[in-house]
C-alpha cells in the first residue's frame, strides 16, 4: 500500500512538473529542437532543474542497501552501447521532433490536449506493442564488425 501511495506522489510531481515546465507544449519542444529557427532554451532549464533532485537522490541511493520501503534499488547501469539503443533513440527523436511530444507529456496532457493527443497516444501504444518484433529482428542481426 505504501508503495502505491509513493508511486502516486511521484507520478503527481512528474505530471505537475511536465505541465508547469511547458514540456506538454509542443511549440516549446519544437522550439528547443529548432536550432535554425527561433531557438527556445526553456528545455535546457527543465532538464537542468530535473537533474538537481535526481543527482542528490542517486547520491543518497548509493549509500543505501535498499529503498526506504525495503524494495531493491536499481542495479548499476550497463555501459553497453548497442544498435538497439542507437536505432531506437534515433527513431524516438524523429517522432519527438515531428509532433513535439514524448511519452511522459503525452500522458500528462491527456486531460487538456484535445483530440490530437488521443490520436498520438493511440499510435504510441500501437508502436509499443509492435516494438518487440523489431527488437527481436535487431537481436538476430549479426554484428557488422
Partner 1 sequence: MEQDWIWGLIGGLLIGTGGAFYLLFNGRIMGASGIIGSLVDGSAGNTKWEKLVFLAGVVLLPILLFPVYREVDPHITDNVAVLVAAGLLVGVGTRIANGCTSGHGVCGISRLSVRGIVATVCYILAGGVGVVIFRHLLGVI
Work out which of 63, 135, 140, 144 binds partner 1, going by CB under 8 A: 135
2-21 mask for partner 1 (x: CB under 8 A)?
xxx-xxxxxxxxxxxxxxxx
Restricted to residues 22-61, the positions that interact with partner 1 (CB under 8 A) are: 22-28, 30, 33-37, 40-58, 60-61
63-92 mask for partner 1 (x: CB under 8 A)?
-x-xxxx-xxxx--xxxxx--xxxxxxxxx
Residues 47, 104 contacting (CB under 8 angstroms): no
**Closer CB to partner 1, 68 or 142, in the complex:** 68
Query: What's the rounded Cα separation, in Å, for the pair 137 and 64?
Result: 39
Sign of the four-CA dihedral 30, 31, 34, 37: positive
Nearest one of 93, 57, 49 to 73, comparing CA atoms: 57
Amino acid at each position: 500500500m505504501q508503495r502505491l501511495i509513493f508511486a502516486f506522489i511521484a507520478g503527481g510531481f512528474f505530471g505537475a512538473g511536465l505541465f508547469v515546465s511547458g514540456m506538454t507544449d509542443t511549440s516549446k519542444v519544437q522550439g528547443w529542437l529548432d536550432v535554425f529557427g527561433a531557438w527556445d532554451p526553456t528545455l535546457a532549464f527543465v532538464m537542468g532543474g530535473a537533474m538537481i533532485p535526481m543527482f542528490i537522490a542517486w547520491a543518497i541511493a548509493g549509500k543505501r542497501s535498499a529503498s526506504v520501503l525495503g524494495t531493491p534499488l536499481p542495479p548499476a547501469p550497463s555501459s553497453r552501447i548497442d544498435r538497439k539503443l542507437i536505432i531506437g533513440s534515433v527513431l524516438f527523436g524523429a517522432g519527438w521532433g515531428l509532433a513535439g511530444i514524448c511519452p511522459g507529456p503525452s500522458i500528462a496532457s491527456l486531460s487538456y490536449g484535445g483530440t490530437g493527443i488521443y490520436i498520438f497516444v493511440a499510435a504510441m501504444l500501437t508502436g509499443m506493442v509492435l516494438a518487440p518484433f523489431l527488437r527481436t529482428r535487431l537481436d538476430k542481426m549479426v554484428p557488422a564488425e
